[in-house]
A and B are shown apart, each in its own frame.
Chain A
């Protein structure tokens, strides 16, 4: 794909601009810190794009239902929010999943529970990867660690949403939203996929309806199976991850998003000291790269999960490894962002412990 020159952009703006280039023509949201730069950018920018719809809604509940309405018409649509707002959207996301309506939802996570704070956190992992709302469903969850990746994944998110007719979540945090990095923007998409299922009025043809109410138990089970088969297909085809210095690693650190950036810095440092440690970074949190992690961490003596929450992703890691490799957790909740040096100390202490254990 032909790219433009690099420009220095803030995370929120980079995501917004990439969405517009991916053909997003509708954006609904309610203000919440730390992602207000995203709607503000959209408000300015969408004003310049013909036919683009920007609307500040009265609540996140309304925003996600406007997303629902826009998606019904086949329009590429996005919303963004932060943790408490995304909690309010869960009802709507369940309906989007049920009616198989493509949509992109950005969650710039803040510390929780409750109002928590506005510092970077990863405490919405469970909510994002387990569905979040009521009923048996999944959403694709993308977790960029660098702004260029945030741009590329946002661009890709709209394709994934359309291809699988599924809501796609992009997880970031306040740090990623505020941080500035040079990025190359993809071109404006000229051709968007046709959506035969979209409603635009019956015209001269037969009228159609979209619904999630399936009172007949067999009919609903069929629908659940259909969704499940789709989720299986996504699990087979759409897993993404990055591995770094894992080939001979005695210890594999597993981290995503901002935590993975920190972990990469720590691993780099430790490698310079000759410590055999590597990093496995899930890029898709759902589907979780379980098979790849199991393969890559097979020879390691220890897996250390580092997350900015208290033991959420560690469950997926344990399920992936299924007891074959010991799994340890270093969680820092509450919006604390540790430095690579701090983390490297934690890693090397645990590394020494396993070395010591091995010698006994």
Chain B
């Protein structure tokens, strides 16, 4: 019988520690598939974040080095400048990339560092217990916004793809989601494009991925996916914001 489906070669045979219904496991799988497909494992170095995915090096069979919270793109800059032929990616959550690491990501993007950031947006701080994230939507109840995120007090959510798109140094920006099969396949395409953009030395690339966090959202895995479809997608429109596949260039884009 022909084998049509299996474990990606670059995903180590270790059970995930992630909560049931968490998006990280799907994203890890996609990442492993894309790195294998592009045949870049030999020169690939990943920088996992502080947060739930800090242990990504237990699962992904590529060289990895753990960065301090928020500093992944600065670390990746140091690596890439020393090894221009390496394929360097960061894997960061919303707190990591869009709160504590905003300065690093903006400047790495603006310099056009040829690195790829995989930005997992689950609208909360997962590992620390579901506090408000920079990407939490208005009205979203978290452990630190018991009455819901308030525009006046907390400001509106940060939309990183839209935010980085006007920067000259960015070459590929896309936002996908892993809440259904169709979206998951699209994320794989985005990841492939982002890495290709790095391989062609085009500049800074990022794939933002809306990802369910059932444990902290206090929803079942299925309800979480439905919530992304019905609610989250409205706040974070999916699609390619920059690079090949952009339907209409936004004003101010290079």
Are A and B bound to each other? yes
Give the B-binding residues of A (Cβ under 8 A). Answer: 25-26, 28, 53, 55, 57-59, 61-63, 65-73, 75, 77, 91-92, 95, 99, 199-204, 207-213
Count A-B contacts at CB 8 Å: 131
CA distance A213 to B50 in the complex (A): 9
Among B77-85, B168-176, B186-194, the stretch in contact with A: B77-85
Contact flags B44-81 to A (C-beta < 8 A → 1, else 0): 11010000001101001111111110010011111111
Q: Is the CB of A67 within 8 A of B65?
A: no
Closest 5 interchain pairs by CB?
Answer: A69-B78, A65-B74, A209-B57, A66-B78, A201-B43
Q: Which of A59, A69, A211, A212 contacts B77 (CB 8 A)?
A: A69
Look across to chain B and name the residue whose beta carbon is closest to the beta carbon of A208: B63
Look across to chain A and name the residue whose beta carbon is closest to the beta carbon of B77: A66
| Known pairs A209-B57, A210-B65; A201 contacts B71 (CB<8 A) | no
CA distance A71 to B67 in the complex (A): 13
Give the A-binding residues of B (Cβ under 8 A). Answer: 41-45, 47, 54-55, 57, 60-68, 71, 74-83, 86-87, 103-104, 106-107
Q: Which of A68, A92, A95 has the most CB of B within 10 A?
A: A68
Q: Which of B44, B62, B78 contacts A26 (CB 8 A)?
A: B78
Q: Is the CB of B76 within 8 A of A69?
A: yes
Q: Tell me the minimal C-beta distance from A86 to chain B in angstroms.
A: 16
Q: Tell me the minimal C-beta distance from A60 to chain B in angstroms.
A: 11
Look across to chain B and name the residue whose beta carbon is closest to the beta carbon of A62: B74
CA distance A147 to B44 in the complex (A): 42
Q: Which of B41, B60, B83 contacts A200 (CB 8 A)?
A: B83
CA distance A199 to B42 in the complex (A): 11
| Known pairs A201-B86, A202-B44; A72 contacts B75 (CB<8 A) | yes
Residues of B within 8 A of A72 (CB): 45, 65, 75, 78-79
Look across to chain B and name the residue whose beta carbon is closest to the beta carbon of A215: B55
Residues of B within 8 A of A213 (CB): 54-55, 66
Look across to chain B and name the residue whose beta carbon is closest to the beta carbon of A94: B68
Residues of B within 8 A of A25 (CB): 82
CA distance A68 to B77 in the complex (A): 10
Q: Is the CB of A28 within 8 A of B78?
A: yes
CA distance A19 to B187 in the complex (A): 45
CA distance A72 to B57 in the complex (A): 15
Q: Tell me the minimal C-beta distance from A43 to chain B in angstroms.
A: 14
Q: Is the CB of B45 within 8 A of A65?
A: no
Q: Which of B44, B78, B83, B103 contacts A67 (CB 8 A)?
A: B78
Q: Is the CB of A70 within 8 A of B74?
A: no
Q: Is the CB of A65 within 8 A of B42?
A: no
Residues of A within 8 A of B107 (CB): 57-58, 62
| Known pairs A66-B78, A202-B62, A209-B66; A59 contacts B103 (CB<8 A) | yes
Q: Which of B54, B64, B65 has the most CB of A within 10 A?
A: B65
Q: Tell me the minimal C-beta distance from A189 to chain B in angstroms.
A: 17
| Known pairs A58-B107, A72-B79; A199 contacts B65 (CB<8 A) | yes
CA distance A212 to B76 in the complex (A): 17
A-B contact pairs, 22 of them (CB 8 A): A57-B107, A58-B106, A58-B107, A62-B71, A62-B74, A62-B107, A65-B75, A66-B75, A69-B75, A70-B78, A70-B79, A72-B78, A73-B83, A92-B68, A201-B62, A201-B63, A201-B86, A202-B44, A202-B62, A207-B41, A207-B63, A208-B63
Q: Tell me the minimal C-beta distance from A223 to chain B in angstroms.
A: 13
Q: A26-B81, A65-B71 are in contact. List 12 more A-B contacts (CB 8 A).
A: A57-B107, A65-B67, A66-B81, A68-B74, A69-B80, A69-B81, A72-B65, A75-B82, A200-B63, A200-B86, A201-B86, A213-B54
Look across to chain B and name the residue whose beta carbon is closest to the beta carbon of A53: B81
Q: Which of A70, A204, A208 has the most CB of B within 10 A?
A: A70
Look across to chain B and name the residue whose beta carbon is closest to the beta carbon of A54: B81
Q: Is the CB of B57 within 8 A of A73?
A: no
Q: Tell me the minimal C-beta distance from A131 to chain B in angstroms.
A: 16
CA distance A57 to B104 in the complex (A): 9
Residues of A within 8 A of B66 (CB): 99, 209-213
Q: Is the CB of B42 within 8 A of A202?
A: yes
CA distance A92 to B106 in the complex (A): 19
Q: Tell me the minimal C-beta distance from A277 to chain B in angstroms.
A: 47
Look across to chain A and name the residue whose beta carbon is closest to the beta carbon of B87: A201
Q: Is the CB of A73 within 8 A of B44?
A: no
Look across to chain B and name the residue whose beta carbon is closest to the beta carbon of A201: B43
Residues of A within 8 A of B82 (CB): 25-26, 53, 69-70, 73, 75
CA distance A76 to B167 in the complex (A): 31
CA distance A95 to B50 in the complex (A): 13
